[in-house]
Structures are given as structure tokens and as C-alpha cells.
């Protein structure tokens, strides 16, 4: 899987890694142990489940192949936004409106959960309220307003609609023609948050092992996970390995694709200028198919994400090309330096809906994947509902598990080129906006 080579390179030079303190090391698994629930993956999904399970009295072990937060959870844009990566209509078509409403309400609960956890476990992760959705053209503006209208009237989420003449009070950019603001969403430093959750999990008795890649699963009355130096025998298992699971569950892997996305961070911007550029302080995201997402960090750097790589190859001149996008949005930042450039891979599903469930012949093995680039908040909720299901109340988990998913055509080697061709069409549509 050549994306893993690109991925390792992309973890270097991350603003988050440079500004978060790892206050604990977790010894690799050594020997054979027993527990109630074993979790594969030390990202936000795995850690959230670990906390929820420990709170319910389960003995939990969490195995992370590298370091906690190594994957998407420690590198993302930091934007915690309501909803899913796909439109609600996708969920309505599959589950009906009543269950689609339940799913949406859970995505809003996911935002409350972040606030609760930060306060309960004293996690200082630079949280800031607010999300601003922006449109680059009149056509995109109509789509943005229609979607806001529907989220408000059908799903009950308050949204503020902002027309062109009022835009400078919210964002000072020549690129946008309209915006919507939503106050419950927000943004944070994702690696500080991930490490904060790990501290909370440890405090609740969860045993965490880093540098402990699970290399095989043996199914039986109990499930055995093997690493190079040991094994964990568990009653129930959660696979929360995102695009990195590799050979552990091939059937799952064929339903997600690793897609690269990239971020730069500038040197600190004069706080007064930062305040002028985004007076509301929100996380900003446009509604293009290949979208730009950006925000100011706690120390006033512009953190600008965008571009994607469906081929998984890192774009040439990454920092320079991202800088050009950023300056196109904010010409006022032309003099800023780029201090950090990094990226990672998101686990997109074919319909961009999350893919939660249990392995077909092994219902004691649960999985969470397919967050499709919109998992910062939803991973928390996913951890909560998987814990509810393991504790005997699967109602909320099963609402998500009813969402049907298709395999990407072409198998492991052909699906990437097929996707690249498919995505060229969407890029063209963005360009014609």
C-alpha cells in the first residue's frame, strides 16, 4: 500500500505535533493478557469508546500501532462541525426521515460531548465556538442557503444566513459571495484533544499500549488479537483503525478509500489582523466538492487546509500551492511565512456516510470507519454508541449500522485509478461553479 509511505512523510512538519505535549508513554504489549473489550486504534474513535466502556465498568485494553493520535485524529483541520460528510438526503433515502433525524441529532450531541469532555477532564485544546460555511459563486450560494434552510426547518438546527453585503462582518475575503453561520460547531487543537482523551481514559483504568500493531485476529468463543510480542483475549473487540487497518479485515477495507488531504500553518499573524479577517473567530469551510477549510489557531496562525489526492500521491510543491490558495482567499496574508505543511488520509466511503457495524460472522467484533473527512466530532459519538451496544443497548448503534455501503469497484489495485477518473468529473463541476 504505497499511500502508507506518503503518509509517514506527511506526518512530519505538523503544527500540532510541534505544539502538543505528550505527557505519558505507554509500554508496548508484552505477553498474553485478558480483558472484557480490546480496542484496535488509538485515535479519537478508539479513545472515545475506551472512555465510555470504562465508565460502564468494562476492563479495556487499547492497542495502537504507533503513537496515540498518529493517524487522522492528530493531524486534522480541527473543525468540529454538525452533520455528516454526506448530505442528510443520503440518510433519508436509506433510513427514512425519522431515523435520519435521529442520526442528525446524534451529530449535534457529538458537539456537546466535546464540550462536556473538555470540561469534565480539564482538556485544554484551544476550543473556539462557531462554524462559517461559505460559497464561492451564486450557484454555490443557492445550494448553501437551501441546505441551511432545510437543516433549520426539518432538523431544527439554528443557522444565520449572511448575504454578500453583510459578509465583511463575518469574513474579510474577496472569494465568497454568501455564508451561513452555526454556533454549536467550533474548532480545536485535535492532537491536544486526543492526548487529553487518552489521559482521561487512563484515569478511568484503561490500559493503553503504543507501538503494538495488531497483526492478526483469531475468532472463537473469545477473540484473540496478536501483536509481535503478545496477545489480548477479549469478549468483545472494536476495530477503529481507519485507513491503517490493512490486512486485519479485508472486507471492511474494500468499502473505504484512503484520500489525501493537506494543511499548512503560517507564522503567527498580528492578532488585530486575524480578528479583521475572521471577526466571528469561526472555523470556515466552503461547499465545493473539493473544499478549502481554514481557521485561526489559538496562537493566531492561519491554518489552511484543502486540495485532495485521490491517487494518494502527495501534490508537488505542497506548501507553495497551498499558500497560493490561502492568498487567493486572504490577499492580506501575502507576507506571512508558511511554518508547517503536513497532511493525512481520510477514509471515504462510497456514499460518504459513516460505516459502523459488526463483522458478519463475528458479531462480537464491532467496527467504526467511513467518517469520510468529517469525523472529528462524530468519532466521539461513535465511541459512545458502540459502548452502549456492547453494554446491551444497541438501538442507537444499529440505526447507523442499517446504512448500507458498497465496495469500491476494482479491488485493491484498480479502485484508486477508477476513483481518480470519477473525481475528475467533480473537480470539473467545482471549476464550472
Ligand X SMILES: Cc1cc2nc3c(=O)[nH]c(=O)nc-3n(C[C@H](O)[C@H](O)[C@H](O)COP(=O)(O)OP(=O)(O)OC[C@H]3O[C@@H](n4cnc5c(N)ncnc54)[C@H](O)[C@@H]3O)c2cc1C
State the residues that interact with ligand X by CB under 6 A.
Answer: 40-46, 63-66, 70-73, 75-79, 213-214, 240-242, 244-245, 248, 261, 263, 293, 305, 343-346, 371, 373-377, 379
Minimal distance, residue 371 CB to ligand X, in Å? 3
Minimal distance, residue 305 CB to ligand X, in Å? 6
Which residue, 71 or 399, has its beta carbon nearer to ligand X? 71
Which residue, 116 or 270, has its beta carbon nearer to ligand X? 116
Q: Which residues contact 379 (CB under 8 A, 6 or more apart)?
A: 43, 44, 45, 48, 73, 368, 371
Minimal distance, residue 377 CB to ligand X, in Å? 6
Please classify residue 316 by burial: count the beta carbons closer than 10 Å to its beta carbon, then call 0-12 exposed, 13-18 middle and 19+ buried. exposed
Which residue, 144 or 308, has its beta carbon nearer to ligand X? 308
Nearest to 218 by CA among 83, 364, 88, 337: 364
Which residue, 155 or 383, has its beta carbon nearer to ligand X? 383
The region, left, alpha or beta by phi > 0 then psi within -120 to 50, assigned to residue 349 is beta
Contact 45, 241 (CB under 8 A): no
Which residue, 167 or 213, has its beta carbon nearer to ligand X? 213
> How far apart, in whole angstroms, are the C-alpha atoms of residue 32 and residue 24?
23
Minimal distance, residue 163 CB to ligand X, in Å? 26
Minimal distance, residue 382 CB to ligand X, in Å? 8
DSSP state of 217: E
Cα–chain center distance at 213: 21
Minimal distance, residue 290 CB to ligand X, in Å? 13
Which residue, 277 or 283, has its beta carbon nearer to ligand X? 283
Please classify residue 33 by burial: count the beta carbons closer than 10 Å to its beta carbon, then call 0-12 exposed, 13-18 middle and 19+ buried. middle
Amino acid at each position: 500500500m504505497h499511500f502508507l509511505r506518503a503518509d509517514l512523510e506527511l506526518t512530519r512538519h505538523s503544527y500540532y505535533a510541534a505544539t502538543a505535549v505528550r505527557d505519558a508513554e505507554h509500554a508496548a504489549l508484552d505477553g498474553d493478557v485478558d480483558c472484557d473489550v480490546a480496542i484496535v486504534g488509538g485515535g479519537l474513535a478508539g479513545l472515545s469508546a475506551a472512555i465510555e466502556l470504562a465508565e460502564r465498568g468494562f476492563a479495556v485494553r487499547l492497542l495502537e500501532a504507533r503513537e496515540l493520535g498518529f493517524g487522522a485524529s492528530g493531524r486534522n483541520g480541527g473543525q468540529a462541525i454538525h452533520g455528516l460528510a454526506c448530505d442528510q438526503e443520503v440518510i433519508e433515502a436509506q433510513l427514512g426521515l425519522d431515523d435520519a433525524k435521529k442520526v442528525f441529532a446524534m451529530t449535534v450531541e457529538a458537539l456537546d460531548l466535546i464540550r462536556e469532555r473538555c470540561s469534565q477532564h480539564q482538556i485544554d485544546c484551544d476550543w473556539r465556538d462557531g462554524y462559517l460555511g461559505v460559497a464561492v459563486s451564486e450557484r454555490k450560494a443557492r445550494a448553501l442557503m437551501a441546505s441551511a434552510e432545510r437543516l433549520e426547518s426539518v432538523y431544527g438546527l439554528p443557522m444565520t444566513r449572511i448575504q454578500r453585503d453583510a459578509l465583511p462582518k463575518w469574513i474579510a475575503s474577496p472569494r465568497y459571495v454568501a455564508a451561513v453561520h452555526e454556533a454549536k460547531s467550533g474548532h480545536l487543537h485535535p492532537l491536544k484533544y486526543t492526548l487529553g482523551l487518552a489521559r482521561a481514559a487512563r484515569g478511568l483504568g484503561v490500559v493503553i499500549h503504543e507501538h503494538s500493531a495488531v497483526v492478526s485476529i483469531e475468532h472463537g468463543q473469545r477473540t484473540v488479537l496478536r501483536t509481535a510480542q503478545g496477545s489480548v483475549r477479549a469478549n468483545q473487540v472494536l476495530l477503529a483503525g481507519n485507513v491503517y487497518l490493512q490486512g486485519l479485515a479485508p472486507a471492511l477495507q474494500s468499502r473505504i478509500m484512503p484520500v489525501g488531504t493537506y494543511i499548512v500553518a503560517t507564522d503567527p499573524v498580528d492578532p488585530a489582523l486575524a480578528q479583521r479577517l475572521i471577526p466571528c473567530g469561526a472555523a470556515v469551510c466552503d461547499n465545493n466538492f473539493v473544499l478549502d477549510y481554514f481557521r485561526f489557531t489559538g496562537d493566531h496562525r492561519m491554518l489552511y487546509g484543502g486540495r485532495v489526492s485521490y491517487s494518494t500521491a502527495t501534490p508537488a510543491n505542497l506548501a507553495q500551492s497551498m499558500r497560493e490558495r490561502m492568498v487567493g482567499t486572504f490577499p492580506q496574508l501575502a507576507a506571512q511565512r508558511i511554518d508547517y505543511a503536513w497532511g493525512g488520509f481520510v477514509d471515504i466511503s462510497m456514499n460518504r456516510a459513516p460505516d459502523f457495524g459488526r463483522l458478519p460472522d463475528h458479531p462480537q467484533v464491532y467496527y467504526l470507519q467511513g467518517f469520510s473527512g468529517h469525523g472529528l466530532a462524530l468519532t466521539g459519538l461513535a465511541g459512545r454508541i458502540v459502548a452502549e451496544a456492547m453494554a446491551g443497548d444497541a438501538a442507537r448503534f444499529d440505526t447507523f449500522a442499517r446504512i448500507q455501503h458498497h465496495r469500491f469497484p476494482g479491488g485493491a489495485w484498480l479502485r484508486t485509478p477508477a476513483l481518480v477518473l470519477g473525481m475528475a468529473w467533480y473537480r470539473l463541476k467545482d471549476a464550472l461553479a
